[in-house]
Structure 1
Amino acid sequence: MLKSSRLLLRALEPGDLNDTYLSWLNDPAVNRYLETRFLPQTLEALQTYWQAHRDDPSSPWFAICLAGQERHIGNIKLGPIQWLHRRADLSLFIGERGCWGQGYASEAIALVRDWAFLELDLQKLNAGIYAGNFGSRRAFEKCGFGLEGTLREEVVTSGQRQDVWRLGMPRSYWTPTA
């Protein structure tokens, strides 16, 4: 469990796999930059995915919850962790649209970043962001990630090729959150 003044990050639990979570994954505004948008999402598919990944130590997966209410507003995942190279990808989404633009994404990124560097002794974190997802890019940059490259025409969105920004943060560039 990771905590800040506004957020609580905890393991995703079976009770989180509900109609609200499902509605996020099927909402075109929420899933616009998520790979889940390519397949219709169901509670059964959500539960199957959770069962397959919940105990994977190389991919810690957290529910992002508002600290006072413990209301689940999104998810953040670290991994897969490449232990040999001590690096991992970091990805997240805020499903509750009413929570967009309030800094929750960057706060969650900072919590996991600090945990990954301090507790897991990782040396590098990366993020892949669809070009055009400026909110996500700003959240990562606010946490010290820098643009390391653009993968040109890497993915398909609405039948069109689209670039992906690759951001990264070496541990040597990190300043722990106070």
Structure 2
Amino acid sequence: MELRRLQVEDITPAYVGWLSDPEVTRYLETRHSAQTEESVRQFVARMAQADDEFLFGIFLPEGRHIGNIKVGPIRRYHRLADVSLLIGEADCRGRGYAAEAIAGVSRFAFAELPVEKLSASMYAPNQASAKAFIRAGFRQEGLRIGHYDLDGKRCDLIELGALPEDLSRAEKGAA
């Protein structure tokens, strides 16, 4: 698997299709607005120019784009950034790519950015995402009860965080 900064040239009909697929967007805020090729182009172009947000494509060795992962925005005063991701290709979910991408982007953030802590959050029913973050070294830090509306019902929000030593511990445990 390879992570590389996403460019407008990486936008394909499949990528735009992920953002219209209710299964892919079930736990993403992007589900609340229609996504078009133009809106995706604008977003990717903005991310490619940003100095406080880094959008990476997740690519298999043969070049297949299977998802995205983003670190940022960076809150420089606190040396903190968020991490979020999606695996768009259904046949690539549950195969460890998310945890691998999370670990990779976390290593990048701690080594290359003015960041000393990473955070992530997800809808509580999205256990696959929570497990991927935990496998990569994140720890659960909080639970916001009834924080979001999901399909007309209140839904808890899981909050996770990682410090550099958390990732080191996870990498040692995987060896």
> TM (normalized to structure 1)?
0.90
Structure 1 residue runs without a partner (length 5+): 1-6
Structure 2 residue runs without a partner (length 5+): none
Residue 59 of structure 1 pairs with residue 47 of structure 2:
no
Runs of 4+ in 1 over 4 A off after TM superposition: none
Identify the match of residue 124 of structure 2 among 124, 131, 134: 131
Residue 80 of structure 1 pairs with residue 77 of structure 2:
no
What's the % identity of the aligned pairs? 43
Distance 1:164 1:28 in 2: 19
TM-superposed deviation, 1:119: 2.3
Distance 1:173 1:107 in 2: 15
- Secondary structure of the residue that 1:91 maps to in structure 2? strand
- Amino acid of the structure 2 residue aligned with 1:168: G
Aligned to 1:92: 85
CA RMSD in angstroms comes to 1.5
More helix by share: 2
Identify the match of residue 71 of structure 1 among 64, 81, 94: 64
Identify the match of residue 39 of structure 2 among 23, 42, 45: 45
Aligned to 1:153: 146
Deviation digits for residues 94-145 of structure 1 (CA, Å, limit 9, x no counterpart): 0000101110000000101111112225211100111110100000000111
Aligned residue pairs total: 171
Deviation digits for residues 38-70 of structure 1 (CA, Å, limit 9, x no counterpart): 112111111122233321110011010002x11
> TM (normalized to structure 2)?
0.92
Identify the match of residue 157 of structure 2 among 142, 155, 164: 164
Contact 1:122 1:171 (8 Å CA) reproduced: no
Aligned to 2:23: 29
Identify the match of residue 173 of structure 1 among 123, 148, 166: 166
